[in-house]
């Protein structure tokens, strides 16, 4: 298969895995093959509790996974970088630090190199004030460092993985036919409509009914979902028509339809077909042909550490030193972890003190804790 065919097949598998978690291992293997790597994972990190939770993996050695969770995870440069990267934007090792600097660190010497790995490319999928979910592909020595091809292919895959992770939280095949399904959807802020091929509403969650009641973005006419934006309404009708099992136009990845309100507020409707693969099982009474997710376009809220960096104009290197101060303590402990000299750490530390108007390491700990506290926002 050429790249387009591989991508089409892979995106379809990704959305099926959202509904059947047992498929994720196979999907991660294929994803690693597509991007160019020896391992792949979906995982979460909580930086306050210092917890790493591996959701699904392929190609990982259980021993190294264990010691990563127990010891090395807090030294992983990606753990910090992903707090600052844009949601859905792939980053590689070179975006964080030079490979020369990385290879001098204990993390590389003791955890990366023994596995014959050399680089990684990852993307943050979701983020809260204290934790995030991410997707990564690890490069083996034979693969070389992340190149333009790997970055481009990762960019093609990440949006679908992100949507699949979101969908996987709201559609559970084992609960779909139970009354808990409606309760699950009603707890979501995004408006969700399950419709048939003609746009008739089979089911909607509470946010969906509220949106219909407002009649600003969508309304109901004779039980049919109608978009108030006429151009968007025509686009939605066309997409729904093309969700028939015999038509593969939007079978795998769905389609985004931009919407505008009379007040010029911007919304988007993501239309996901429910008629292929495992998704055939997701319709209420098997009559739903598509799931339509409608939400307002909004900027991602910045992470508190991103706010710290911007407020005090700290460089990435200075942020790494400050976070190591918070997590480890003194300069002698930090230097070998970062793979730099104690003199370099001290230089960064003096600049941090100057920018943050602090004098002691304990002041930096208090500063970070203050930004991380939910009462400070």
Host domain of residue 76: 3-170
Mean pLDDT of 62-73: 90
d(CA 363, CA 352): 11
Choose the most confident range, by mean pLDDT, from 87-101, 284-298, 321-335: 87-101
**Which of 247, 265, 296 marks a domain boundary?**
296
**One domain, residues 211 and 126:** no
**One domain, residues 140 and 214:** no
Q: Kindly report the CA angle at 294 between 270 and 128, in degrees rounded to 5?
A: 95
Give the model's pLDDT for residue 99.
87
Read off the tokens for 154. Answer: 């990762």
Cα(first)–Cα(last) distance of the chain, in Å?
50
Give the model's pLDDT for residue 128.
67
For residue 245, pLDDT beyond 70: no
Residue 103, in any domain of the structure:
yes
% of the chain with per-residue pLDDT over 90: 25
Residue 175, in any domain of the structure:
no
**Domain count of the fold of the chain:** 3
Q: What is the pLDDT of residues 116-137, one digit of tens each?
A: 999 999 998 887 666 778 899 9
**One domain, residues 9 and 115:** yes
- Short-list 115, 122, 117, CA closest to 141: 117
Residue 248, in any domain of the structure:
yes
DSSP category for residue 112? I
Residue 48, in any domain of the structure:
yes
At 285, which CATH number?
3.30.450.20
% of the chain with per-residue pLDDT over 70: 81
Least confident of 40-49, 180-189, 299-308: 180-189
Mean pLDDT of 1-13: 87
For residue 277, pLDDT beyond 70: no
Mean pLDDT of 329-342: 80
pLDDT band at 286 (very low <50, low <70, confident <90, very high): very low
**One domain, residues 28 and 151:** yes
Q: What is the pLDDT of residues 358-370, one digit of tens each?
A: 888 888 877 877 7
pLDDT band at 142 (very low <50, low <70, confident <90, very high): very high
Least confident of 37-51, 176-190, 250-264, 326-340: 176-190
Of residues 375 and 335, which shows the higher confidence score? 335
Q: What is the pLDDT of residues 211-230, one digit of tens each?
A: 998 888 899 988 899 988 88
Give the model's pLDDT for residue 32.
96
Contact by Cβ (8 Å): 233, 227: yes
For residue 335, the SS3 value is helix
**One domain, residues 205 and 58:** no
Q: What is the pTM of this model?
A: 0.56
At 326, which CATH number?
1.10.10.10
Residue 363, in any domain of the structure:
yes
């Amino acid at each position: 298969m050429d790249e387009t065919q591989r991508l089409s097949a892979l995106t379809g598998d990704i959305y099926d895995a959202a509904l059947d978690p047992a498929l994720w291992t196979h999907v991660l293997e294929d994803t690693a093959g597509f991007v160019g790597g020896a391992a792949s994972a979906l995982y979460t990190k909580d930086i306050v509790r210092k917890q790493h939770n591996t959701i699904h993996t392929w190609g990982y050695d259980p021993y190294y996974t264990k010691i990563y969770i127990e010891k090395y995870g807090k030294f992983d440069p990606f753990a910090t970088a992903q707090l600052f990267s844009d949601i859905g934007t792939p980053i590689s090792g070179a975006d964080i630090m030079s490979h020369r600097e990385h290879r001098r660190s204990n993390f590389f010497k003791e955890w990366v190199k023994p596995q014959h790995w050399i680089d990684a490319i990852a993307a943050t999928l979701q983020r809260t004030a204290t934790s995030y979910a991410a997707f990564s592909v690890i490069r083996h020595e034979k693969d070389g460092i992340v190149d333009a091809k790997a970055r481009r292919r990762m960019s093609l895959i990440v949006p679908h993985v992100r949507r699949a992770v979101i969908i996987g939280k709201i559609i559970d095949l084992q609960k779909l036919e139970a009354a808990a399904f409606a309760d699950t959807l009603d707890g979501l802020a995004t408006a969700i409509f399950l419709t048939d091929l003609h746009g008739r509403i089979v089911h909607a969650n509470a946010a969906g009914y509220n949106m219909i009641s407002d009649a600003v973005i969508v309304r109901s006419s004779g039980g049919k979902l109608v978009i108030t934006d006429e151009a968007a309404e025509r686009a939605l009708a066309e997409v729904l028509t093309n969700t028939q099992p015999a038509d593969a136009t939007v079978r795998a990845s769905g389609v985004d339809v931009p919407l505008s309100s009379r007040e010029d507020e911007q919304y988007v409707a993501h239309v996901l077909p429910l008629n292929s693969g495992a998704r055939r099982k997701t319709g209420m009474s098997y009559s739903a042909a598509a799931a339509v997710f409608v939400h307002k376009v909004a900027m991602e809220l910045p992470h508190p550490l991103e706010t710290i960096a911007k407020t005090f104009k700290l460089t990435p290197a200075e942020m790494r030193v400050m976070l190591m101060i918070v997590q480890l303590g003194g300069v002698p402990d930090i230097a070998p972890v970062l793979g730099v000299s104690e003199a370099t750490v001290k230089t960064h530390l003096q600049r941090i003190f100057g920018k943050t108007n602090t004098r002691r390491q304990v002041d930096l700990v208090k500063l970070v804790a203050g930004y991380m506290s939910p009462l400070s926002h």
